[in-house]
Amino acid sequence: MPIGIHFFLCVLVFLIGGCFDQKEPREYREFSKPPEAGIHLQSASDGAHHEIFDLPKVARVEPAVAVSSDKLKLHIDDVWSKQSPVWYKAPLAQMSISTFKPTMEDTGVRVTFTVLSGSGGGTKENVTRWIRQLSHLVVSEARIASFVSELETRTSSSGLSFTLVDLTSFGSRESETSMLACVIYLGDQTLFIKLSGALSELKDLKDIFIAKANATAEIKTQDENQ
Partner 1 sequence: MKISNLSFVRFFVSLKLTVVCLAWLFVITFLGTLDQVQNGLYASQQKYFTSFFFKAGGFIWLPGAKLTMMILFVNLLAASKRLFQWRWAKSGIFMIHAGLLAFFVAAYTTYVSAVESQITMVEGESTNTVQSVTEWELAIWRADSENWRSVTAYDISRADIGKRLEFSKWKLFVTVEEYLTNSMPMVNEQDKASELFFHAIPPAKNPEENQPAAILSVKDANNKTHRVSLFGPDSGGIKLSDNNEQTFFIELRRSRRLLPFTLALEDFRHEFHPKTSIAKSFESDVVIDEGHGARPVTISMNKPLRAADFTVYQASYGEDRSGRETSTFAVVKNPTRLMPYIASILTTAGLFLHVLILTANRRFRGSPT
| Residues contacting residue 96 through CB under 8 Å, at least 6 positions apart | 43, 112, 113, 114
Kindly state the smallest distance separating residue 7's Cβ from partner 1, in Å.
6
Between 17 and 140, name the residue whose CB sits nearer to partner 1: 17
Q: Which is nearer to partner 1, 125 or 224 (CB)?
A: 125
| Residue 45 or 158 with smaller CB distance to partner 1 | 45
Kindly state the smallest distance separating residue 154's Cβ from partner 1, in Å: 22
What is the amino acid identity at position 195? L
Minimum CB separation of residue 60 from partner 1 in Å reads 5
Show the CA angle centred on residue 94, arms to residues 88 and 100, nearest 5°. Answer: 10
Least gap, CB of 84 to partner 1 (angstroms):
17
Q: Which amino acid is at 160?
A: L
Contact, 119 vs 178, CB < 8 A?
Answer: no
Which helix or strand (DSSP H or E) is residue 186 part of? Answer: strand 177-186
Return d(Cα 125, Cα 191) in angstroms, integer: 15
Nearer Cβ to partner 1 (22/169):
22
**For residues 58 and 138, which CB has a smaller minimum distance to partner 1 in the complex?**
58
CB-wise, 51 or 226, nearer to partner 1? 51
How near is the Cβ of 136 to partner 1 at its closest, in Å?
14
CB 94 to partner 1: min, Å: 6
Integer Cα distance of 76 and 81 in angstroms: 8
Specify the 3-state DSSP secondary structure of 117.
Answer: strand
- Give the whole-angstrom CA distance, residue 38 versus residue 57: 37
Closest by CA to 158, choosing from 117, 77, 214, is 214
CA–CA dist 180, 165 (Å, integer): 6
